[in-house]
């Protein structure tokens, strides 16, 4: 059994999301594309949006090869008009959206003191305002389908990371938005949760904040001693949207191999040194 199969296997029924429409913002690449594929493998009709038509076309072809219906429309999540056309179009073509995944995001490393106001605003606009736009515009469909929203956030939402002030602020906002929607939309039967990926190998997000040579060093700080796989995150998104999670709302699910356990890395190294110097007789 490969690591992929061992970790993920196709353990859930193939028709788990049959007759369900899943809309993934930023679904043309990386983790979000992996999420779209996972839902498609479990019978969903899948809709994706993003800014690059070429990227969306490639993703659409790959998703169609999995056998289900696919809808792809270029839309910038910051542009409510474009996003409304995509979300309405998906609902009209595939049926009401039953699962919305808000994954579109932007990132780069920048010291706060040199980051321009527009640079900060751009990331907040894409990640936070874009997530609100998608949820707000899909509300009527989610209400009819008694659906759920899964936000893709990041460890920076929960712990300060240097050169990520813009991302921390944006993703922390998404976490709070997730909780507010759980509170306000629960009575409509709509659940709202987030997945918090750690460091996911071979993704654009990781390339933007690290050099490939750094990855071996990261492993010492990840209790499970491996980088995340796209499928790790996809599996969590599928779980949160599935009937296995019908009473789960307002929850952040870390999929990070334990990386986010605050302070554990330096504390544990220090503790090991202390124990080595003063072993208990």
Q: Which residues sit at the interface with ligand NAP, rule CB under 6 A?
A: 25-26, 28-32, 49-52, 55, 76-78, 103-106, 126, 130, 152, 154, 197, 199-200, 203-206
Residue (78 or 226) nearer to ligand COA, CB: 78
CB nearest ligand NAP: which residue? Answer: 30
Residue (2 or 118) nearer to ligand COA, CB: 118
Partner interacting with residue 77 (select from ligand COA, ligand NAP, none; CB below 5-8 Å by kind): ligand NAP
Q: Is 205 in the site for ligand COA (CB under 6 A)?
A: yes
Residue 22 CB, nearest approach to ligand NAP (Å): 16
Residue 74 and residue 136: Cα distance in Å, rounded?
18
Is residue 48 exposed (0-12), middle (13-18) or buried (19+ Cβ within 10 Å)? buried
Candidates 35-43, 99-107, 242-250, 264-272: pick the segment binding ligand COA (CB under 6 A): 99-107
Q: Is 107 in the site for ligand COA (CB under 6 A)?
A: yes
**Complete edge-to-edge strand list for the sheet that includes strand 70-74:** 70-74, 45-50, 21-25, 97-102, 148-152, 191-197, 252-255
Please report, as residue ranges, which positions from 17 to 76 form the binding site for ligand COA (by CB under 6 A). Answer: none
Q: Is 201 in the site for ligand COA (CB under 6 A)?
A: no
Residue 240 CB, nearest approach to ligand COA (Å): 20
């Amino acid at each position: 059994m490969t690591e992929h199969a061992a970790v993920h296997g196709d353990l859930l029924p193939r028709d788990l999301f049959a007759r369900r429409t899943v809309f993934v913002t930023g679904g043309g690449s990386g983790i979000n594309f992996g999420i779209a594929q996972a839902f498609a493998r479990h019978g969903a009709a899948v809709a994706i949006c993003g800014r690059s038509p070429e990227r969306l076309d490639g993703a659409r072809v790959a998703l169609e090869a999995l056998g289900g219906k696919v809808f792809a429309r270029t839309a910038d999540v910051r542009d409510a008009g474009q996003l409304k056309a995509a979300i309405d179009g998906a609902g009209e073509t595939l049926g009401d959206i039953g699962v919305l995944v808000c994954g579109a995001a932007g990132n780069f490393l920048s010291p706060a003191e040199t980051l321009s106001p527009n640079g900060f605003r751009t990331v907040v606009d894409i990640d936070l305002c874009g997530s609100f736009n998608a949820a707000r515009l899909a509300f009527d469909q989610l209400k009819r389908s008694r659906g759920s929203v899964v936000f893709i956030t990041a460890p920076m939402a929960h712990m300060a990371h240097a050169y990520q002030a813009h991302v921390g602020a944006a993703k922390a906002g998404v976490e709070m938005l997730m909780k507010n929607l759980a509170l306000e939309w629960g009575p409509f039967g709509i659940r709202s949760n987030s997945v918090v990926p750690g460091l996911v190998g071979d993704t654009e997000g990781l390339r933007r904040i690290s050099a490939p040579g750094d990855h071996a060093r990261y492993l010492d700080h990840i209790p499970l001693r491996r980088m995340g796989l796209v499928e790790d995150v996809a599996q969590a998104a599928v779980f949160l949207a599935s009937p296995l999670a019908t009473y789960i709302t307002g929850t952040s699910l870390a999929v990070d191999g334990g990386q986010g356990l605050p302070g554990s890395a330096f504390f544990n190294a220090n503790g090991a040194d202390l124990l080595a110097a003063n072993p208990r007789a």
